[in-house]
Amino acid sequence: MTALNESIRNIPMPMRMQHLPVSPKGFPIPWFVHNEDGVLDFRVIGTGKIERAIRFSRCWLCGEMLGRHVVFTVGPMCCINRISAEPPSHRDCAEYGVKACPFLSKPKMRRNEVDQIEGGRPMPGIAILRNPGATALWVTRNYDLMRVEHGVLFRMGDPEKVAWYAEGRSATKAEVMHSVQTGLPLLEKAANTEGPEAVAELAKAMIAFHHLLSAEGKIDEQKIETPNLPEPNRASHYS
């Protein structure tokens, strides 16, 4: 068995993830990863994995059965519109992911879109492919499915807790705010493109997000400006 990468060797791995194979670079291969004749691509979702995760209530990372609470690993923009492109995970698997995944634990890392293997499904909805810097673990008991082009999106239920991470540790208020402020213009641009209803929904979502962050102590009151902006018919998701 390939040894774990030195950078993550001292991060405790949940027991339910210890059956996962390890990549040649020493990183656990999540259950969802596409496997084409033994060639793995962390950037591509395996064929049928989303359907199986939904139908059999499987954890997106370890592949085992989920419990009553589920956790979505998302960026701040997904917290604003409460939409995720990926199914949820166990909380301990998600916590390990934000600490061990190079993309999530290294804010300056960018997605490599070169030489992606074929066979995986295209991403549903509309995505902004950025590294958000700060990542949220959205703990909830429920979610709804939204049928869109190329598949489904997940509308996250009300959170019982939201934990923020950056660089593999708890995020600071400044890190969360920087991620919000740098991502929000992209979200506003997309809403303006979609039309007045999308702009109005964004305004409502921003108010709810503002209250959520205030309750968690991540922002001071009046920190985020909300546009005077009605529910779009088109589903979008962002990091």
DSSP assignment of 132-199 equals -SSEEEEEES-EEEEEETTEEEEEEPPPSEEEEEETTEEPPHHHHHHHHHHHHHHHHHHHHHH-HHHH
Please count the structural domains in the chain: 1
pLDDT at 149 over 90: no
54-68, 100-114, 192-206: lowest mean pLDDT where? 100-114
Q: Is residue 208 part of a domain?
A: yes
Q: Is residue 119 part of a domain?
A: no
The per-residue pLDDT for 170 is: 93
pLDDT at 73 over 80: yes
Indicate whether 140 pLDDT > 50: yes
Residue 229 is assigned to a structural domain of this protein = no
**Mean pLDDT, rounded, for 158-184:** 92
Q: Say yes or no to pLDDT of 106 above 80.
A: no
Rg, Å, the chain Cα set: 18
Is 114's pLDDT higher than 80?
A: no
116 inside domain: no
Share of the chain above pLDDT 70, in %: 80
pLDDT at 54 over 80: yes
CA 113 to chain centre: 18
* pLDDT at residue 5 is higher than 60: yes
Establish if 177 belongs to a structural domain: yes
Q: Is 162 within the bounds of a domain?
A: yes
Does 1 fall in a domain?
no
Between 26-30, 170-174, 183-187, 235-239, the lowest mean confidence (pLDDT) is in 235-239
* Distance, C-alpha 146 to centroid of its chain: 16
CB 60 within 8 Å of CB 88: yes
Domain of residue 211 covers 15-109+126-216
Instruction: Assess whether pLDDT exceeds 80 at residue 179.
Output: yes
Does 2 map to a domain?
A: no
Would you place residue 229 in the very low, low, confident or very high pLDDT band (cuts 50, 70, 90)? very low
